[in-house]
Structure 1
Amino acid sequence: MTDLKRAGTRWTCWGILSLALLGCSSSPERPKPAALPQVSGPLTIQKAWSAQIGPVTTPLFASVHSAGVAVASTQGQVALIDAATGQDIWRLKLDSPIQAGVGGDGQRFAVITRHNEVVAIESGKVLWRYRLAAMSYTAPLVAGGRVFVLTADRAVTALDGATGQKLWVQQRTGDPLVLQQAGLLMPFGDTLLAGWGGRLAALNPNTGAVRWETLVGSSRGTNEVERLVDLVSGASRLGNVVCVRAFQSSVACVDALRGGTVWTRPAQGHEGLEGDDTLLFGVESDSKVQAWQRQNGDLAWSQDALRFRGLSAPLVFGNAVVMGDDNGWLHFFSRQDGQTLQRLSTDGSAITGRPVRAGQNLVVVTRTGGVFGFRPE
């Protein structure tokens, strides 16, 4: 069983189930990481700048906008950083630790505090706050003048972006266990896609009405923890097809117009997916990197040189697919065949979330709060 602590993955228990009963906070020791592979590719990338946001121990992700890269720390710092220079455009210190974020549309940004409050920010100032009925581990989605929130009780809430007024709530009942990890919440044209347990749902963003639901991952196993299944943050879209991962269950591609499954494959991973026009990339929980044919789900290549190194979700960056690891390394693989192209260091602490692309730069955030910008030569 893999150690999921690096990705902020623990089990949160709801209803009558208790942490003591299920032993939700325990996990076996992870096997020894593989030795670092030799770099054999021609890719040349250099560090362009670095900044500091503060320690990141909750599910926080950098988000990219035309204005810059929005980042946050667990202790309450939120900043919009110029991706070209690493300088602050604005920075704000909230009066509460942050549990999930950052979501934004370039004008307004939103995070969720440990007090279950959605905090909306504009130009570095708090715009409004809204108290949720349950905890959320998923960055708010800011789109179409609204803020959408997915909470751990599998409810989707829509708030007015300017005032914070609640517009609607849509909820599905599910298993009493949920992941303390970012779930799936994303736009698709005039539709809102959300993960409800092992199902992908399409909602009308104006009313919350369900347009369709489709099963992606099924529960299995002999106890509540083994049967846990949720769709995780990080989907890859090409045209009308969206490819997603169900926690430790499967990867699947779905026609997001109709809700029909294009293909599905078993997969034992807990990080989101990334892709290009022909391939879909993902990381298994033992840090094996896999590439599937986007059209039919057939395995294109597999790379196990970094097993047990705690790899992040992947990012397509030029001709490479890049992932961070538990020791602050960035690993670049060839998209075509998985060959190791380059390896770069940050500050020695785990890279949190998926690396992001901002213009020509690559930006990552580490567990100790380092924010690093890299630029190809």
Structure 2
Amino acid sequence: MADWPLVRGDAMASGVAEEALPEKLAPVWEFAAEDSGFEATAAIVGGVVYVGDVDGTFYAMHLADGGLLWKQHFQDGGFLAGAAVVDGRVYVGDFNGVVRALKADSGETIWEYTAEAEFYAAPNVVAGQVLVTTEAGELVSLDAETGKMKWRFQIEAPLRCWPTVVDDRVFLAGCDERLHAVAITTGEEVEGIAIDGPTGSTPAVVGGNVYFGTEQGTFYSIATKPLSIGWQYRDPKRSESIRTAAAADSRTVVYGTRGKQVNALDPASGKLQWTFSTRSSVESSPIIAGNRVFAATKRGRMHAIDLVSGEETWEFEAGGSFLASPSVADERLIIGNTDGTLYCFGKSE
């Protein structure tokens, strides 16, 4: 069974599922939060879905039927970002700046760490470290076992991206108009490179290149070692800000924009492969599963798009807004909306 333990599927933030989804999809089950909504992306591990709502309740439910395994309510903070589920533990941060490690089988709190500012990005967990970014511009490394801080890296502007890890480096795209490469063992900056504007877009690293967009509407491909700009793409007709993470593999790089579209670019050249009009702003990060792209909109639509042609193959209208991103495991897709419904899509009977 394939899992989705981290918010973008893997530590490199590729946004690519290990398996394709059934050609025809339909809701298999729905789970309703109690007078709340979902903005956080779900993690899926071992047939269990883990996700928190905006009012501070964290849920674990069975992927097969949506049955509740456990829930825990935390009075002082809601969840705007997803969790990481690694080695039997759930690591999650709330908007009051508290990171918690919970037992995955019961929800019992193991440890807590309080940062100096709120979290808008999920933790990444690599090599015994829990990496979190904060609105105060911090990248903090915590010991996964104890929750004690190992090191801290600071910039002079907010960090809203997920900390992407490749080999011995953590990549951060900051609101200080720079891409940073930080040593994962020490927290010291190894390299940095200027970009054309602030960004909270999570960098995706595939094939030795970092892919992300900015508030100026520019999409970058930057080599990882040493940092150097390979290409830039900017829509010649409309330069709307890019707040989603990209999904990237050897075939394509796809991302959503606030300009109501999903773009696909050639990863080698940066040339436009296709544009798909979503008729609504895209702030949920798309994913790739098999030969299709799955993208959700702020108006509550989920689109399946052919990876090669850019043609729509399936659509579902949920209502509400999708700010969370899709997660995929065991031929099912999970996503929650701001109206408080968590959807599980699977094979249409």
In the superposition, the TM-score normalised over structure 2's length comes to: 0.83
Which letter does structure 2 place at the counterpart of 1:330?
A: M
Counterpart residue number, 2:125: 142
Report 1:170-319 matches (<5 A): 170-174=153-157, 178=158, 182-197=160-175, 198-215=177-194, 217-219=195-197, 229-233=198-202, 235-266=203-234, 268=240, 269-304=242-277, 306-308=278-280, 310=282, 312-319=284-291
Residues 143 and 100 (structure 1 numbering): CA distance in 2 closer, same or farther, change over 3 Å?
farther
Per-residue CA deviations over 1:74-122 (Å, capped at 9, x if unaligned) read 1111123333332334322222222443231332222223432222212
Residues 311 and 139 (structure 1 numbering): CA distance in 2 closer, same or farther, change over 3 Å?
closer
- Percent identity over the alignment? 20
Residues 247 and 99 (structure 1 numbering): CA distance in 2 closer, same or farther, change over 3 Å?
farther
Residues 206 and 53 (structure 1 numbering): CA distance in 2 closer, same or farther, change over 3 Å?
farther
1:362 to 333, 336, 339: 333
Report 1:331-346 matches (<5 A): 331-346=303-318
Per-residue CA deviations over 1:154-186 (Å, capped at 9, x if unaligned) read 111111112211111111224xxx58xx42312
Whole-Å separation in 2 of the counterparts to 1:212 and 1:371 = 40
Q: RMSD across aligned C-alpha pairs, in angstroms? A: 2.4
Residues 311 and 111 (structure 1 numbering): CA distance in 2 closer, same or farther, change over 3 Å?
closer
What's the CA shift for 1:195? 2.2
Residues 312 and 298 (structure 1 numbering): CA distance in 2 closer, same or farther, change over 3 Å?
same
Task: With a CA cutoff of 8 Å and minimum separation of 6, indicate the structure with the bigger relative contact order.
Answer: 2
Whole-Å separation in 2 of the counterparts to 1:55 and 1:283 = 29
Which letter does structure 2 place at the counterpart of 1:339?
A: E
Counterpart residue number, 1:374: 345
Structure 1, unaligned runs of 5 or more: 1-41, 220-228
Residues 89 and 211 (structure 1 numbering): CA distance in 2 closer, same or farther, change over 3 Å?
farther
Residues 313 and 101 (structure 1 numbering): CA distance in 2 closer, same or farther, change over 3 Å?
closer
2:90 to 109, 113, 122: 109
User: Are the equivalent residues in 2 in contact too, given 1:242–1:255 (CA < 8 A)?
Assistant: yes
| Paired positions, count | 318
Which letter does structure 2 place at the counterpart of 1:208?
A: G
What's the CA shift for 1:256? 2.1
Structure 2, unaligned runs of 5 or more: 1-21
In the superposition, the TM-score normalised over structure 1's length comes to: 0.77
1:351 to 313, 316, 322: 322
What's the CA shift for 1:152? 1.2
What's the CA shift for 1:363? 0.9
**Greater radius of gyration (CA):** 1
Report 1:310-329 matches (<5 A): 310=282, 312-329=284-301
Residue aligned with 1:337, SS: coil
Structure 1 residue 74 and structure 2 residue 47: aligned? no
Whole-Å separation in 2 of the counterparts to 1:236 and 1:263 = 15
Report 1:2-21 matches (<5 A): none
Residues 253 and 56 (structure 1 numbering): CA distance in 2 closer, same or farther, change over 3 Å?
farther
What's the CA shift for 1:300? 1.0
What's the CA shift for 1:66? 4.1
What's the CA shift for 1:248? 3.3
Whole-Å separation in 2 of the counterparts to 1:340 and 1:200 = 33
User: Are the equivalent residues in 2 in contact too, given 1:116–1:132 (CA < 8 A)?
Assistant: yes
Whole-Å separation in 2 of the counterparts to 1:285 and 1:309 = 4
Whole-Å separation in 2 of the counterparts to 1:257 and 1:105 = 29
Which letter does structure 1 place at the counterpart of 2:268?
A: Q
Whole-Å separation in 2 of the counterparts to 1:59 and 1:248 = 24
Counterpart residue number, 1:83: 63
Residue aligned with 1:368, SS: coil
Residues 263 and 64 (structure 1 numbering): CA distance in 2 closer, same or farther, change over 3 Å?
farther
Whole-Å separation in 1 of the counterparts to 2:307 and 2:213 = 19
Structure 1 residue 65 and structure 2 residue 21: aligned? no
Which letter does structure 1 place at the counterpart of 2:28?
A: A
Residues 192 and 361 (structure 1 numbering): CA distance in 2 closer, same or farther, change over 3 Å?
same
Residues 309 and 239 (structure 1 numbering): CA distance in 2 closer, same or farther, change over 3 Å?
closer
